[in-house]
């Protein structure tokens, strides 16, 4: 029950953060709140999708407002992929040196779409192994595409692009039997567009 409620809080936060305008970009390799022994511990790993609006701290505040003890930390650099994190001593040390309940992985959107078998999946598998060794639960943070798609790359509109992003995340999630936070689907602001189904 606690697990499902925290996932719901995370999902709610993601929906809210996707609707907030982006402040001036700031890069952060680490932001943390103290790790209490009884709190649910969550590590966020990603890039600007993770550190804009200080998403981990927003999540922690929302969870605490709901009565949940949550402590967060982050390893995020602008433009980084999960392959960058899989090769980063800083990120790997964060995974290995703390006891996490959840680790949220957020990939660079273009890489989960363009040949994910070459770019994203090997890094996700490596990070999954490291996270599993620590008995933590991996959650994939599904990103979103540009509102107008990427016509030059064959994605004529948002729905086309988002469908490919969704497929990229769901394929690896099914392989590893992990959860996906469908942030990209929740980011949609047009109520007249039909719901996406992964």
pLDDT at 149: 85
CA-CA-CA-CA torsion for 50, 53, 59, 157, nearest 10 degrees?
A: -60
- Is residue 19 over pLDDT 70? no
Q: pTM score > 0.85 for this model?
A: no
Segment 60-89, tens digit of pLDDT: 998 888 888 899 999 999 999 999 999 999
d(CA 47, CA 85): 10
Give domain limits for the chain: 27-186
- CA distances in angstroms from 180 to 7, 31, 113, 166, listed in the order given: 10, 23, 16, 10
pLDDT at 63: 86
Indicate the CATH number for domain 27-186.
3.40.50.1110
What confidence category does residue 23 fall into, taking pLDDT thresholds of 50, 70 and 90?
Answer: very low
């Amino acid at each position: 029950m606690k697990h499902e409620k925290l996932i719901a809080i995370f999902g709610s936060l993601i929906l809210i953060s996707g609707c907030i305008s982006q402040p001036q970009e700031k890069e952060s390799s680490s932001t943390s709140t103290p790790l209490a022994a009884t709190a649910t511990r969550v590590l966020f790993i990603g890039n600007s999708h993770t550190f804009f609006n200080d998403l981990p701290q927003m999540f922690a505040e929302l969870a605490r407002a709901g009565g949940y003890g949550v402590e967060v930390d982050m390893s995020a650099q602008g433009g980084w992929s999960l392959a960058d994190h899989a090769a980063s001593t800083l990120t790997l040390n964060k995974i290995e040196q703390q006891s996490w309940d959840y680790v949220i992985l957020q990939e660079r959107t273009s890489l989960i779409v363009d040949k994910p078998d070459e770019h994203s999946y090997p890094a996700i598998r490596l990070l999954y192994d490291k996270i599993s060794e620590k008995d933590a639960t991996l959650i994939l943070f599904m990103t979103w595409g540009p509102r107008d798609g990427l016509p030059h790359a064959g994605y004529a509109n948002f729905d086309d692009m988002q469908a490919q992003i969704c497929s990229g995340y769901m394929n690896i999630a099914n392989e590893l039997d992990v959860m996906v936070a469908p942030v990209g689907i929740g980011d949609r602001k047009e109520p007249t567009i039909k719901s996406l189904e992964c």
